[in-house]
Structure 1
Amino acid sequence: MNKFRVLGGALALLLASGQALADGKQLFNQHCSSCHGAEGAGIDGVAPPLRNPTLWQRLGEQAPTYLTGVWAGGLSGSLEVDGQTYRGLVMPPQTQIPAADLEQVAGYLLHDLNGAKQRVERAQIEAARQAPLSHQQLRALRKGV
């Protein structure tokens, strides 16, 4: 009987994990895709792609800091991504979205769209909101400085 409880618990965790990924995609579509496009492909002249494995690989262990920093403080200015320049870019802070939802979005964005291994925890999002990085600091992270 103990074996069945363990198996049942493991199955429940697997199902919950799959639900979390589905929720991440749904939340991304709800909050992010209108600017960053379906599956994070970007929209020329509007917002850069978030499906950009090269960027997330370069950020490495700093990926959660960059992502939560952009959500906490926004980002403005110009970015060049894959030869496309996004001028006058204004990514507003996403403080209206609950940290629990952003945690799900981060999983979808980092893991599903980009194959990154880093995780973003709700506590990281909340900490970033308490002390947002400057746009200059975010740009330095993005450039790998």
Structure 2
Amino acid sequence: MRHLTTLTGAAAITTALLVLPVSAETPEELFEIHCAACHNTGGIGNPGLAPPLNRPAFWQALGDTAPEYLAGVVVSGMTGKLDVQDQMYIGLIMPPVASTTDEELVEIGNWVLQTLGETDGAMTQARLDATREARPSHADLRAMRPSVD
């Protein structure tokens, strides 16, 4: 009977390990979870709601400031008139991202910069910390935007 209890306990642990979700999302999956509701799958955007993020020319035009800009948007949010690829985005507010850990923000940021933006830019914890300290305004962030759209 004791042997059977040990086997039953081991089977329960093994089953639990197979059934419990593993939190090993890829950066793209993290984007889907935290960003795609507005920016759509693959960052293609939602006309009138949230601009596309899969615009390499935009991210490349930001150059070395791309990580700073992206950190500013996720930390401070964004509002105001944006004209992106002949689509006007006005009146809607992107709130600061609060549903992620910093580690997830770094992973998502790097995916946006490197995969969608096709840049060598990198999001770091130090960049997030510095941006939280500076708290750029929405006007500051809009002023950083290149006029490539």
**Same-fold call, TM > 0.5?**
yes
Which residue of structure 2 aligns with residue 32 of structure 1?
Answer: 35
Q: TM-score, normalised by structure 1?
A: 0.80
The separation in 2 between residues aligned to 1:139 and 1:68, in whole angstroms, is 13
Which residue of structure 1 aligns with residue 47 of structure 2?
Answer: 44
Q: Answer whether contact 2:58 2:117 (CA < 8 A) is retained.
A: no
The separation in 2 between residues aligned to 1:143 and 1:57, in whole angstroms, is 9
Q: Answer whether contact 2:42 2:54 (CA < 8 A) is retained.
A: yes
Q: Answer whether contact 1:99 1:126 (CA < 8 A) is retained.
A: no
1:68 paired residue among 51, 55, 71: 71
2:125 paired residue among 109, 122, 130: 122
Q: How far 1:88 sits from its partner (Å)?
A: 0.8
Greater radius of gyration (CA): 2
Q: How far 1:94 sits from its partner (Å)?
A: 1.1
The letter of the residue matching 2:115 is D
Q: What's the Cα RMSD here?
A: 1.5
Q: How far 1:110 sits from its partner (Å)?
A: 1.1
The letter of the residue matching 1:71 is V
* 2:117 is the alignment partner of 1:94: no
- Deviations 1:70-122 (CA, angstroms, capped at 9, x unpaired): 11111111111110101113110114421110100011111112211111111
Which residue of structure 1 aligns with residue 5 of structure 2?
Answer: none
Flag structure 1 segments of 5+ consecutive residues without an equivalent.
1-19
Flag structure 2 segments of 5+ consecutive residues without an equivalent.
1-23
Q: How far 1:51 sits from its partner (Å)?
A: 0.6
Which is richer in helix?
1
How many residues are paired up?
124
* 2:20 is the alignment partner of 1:23: no
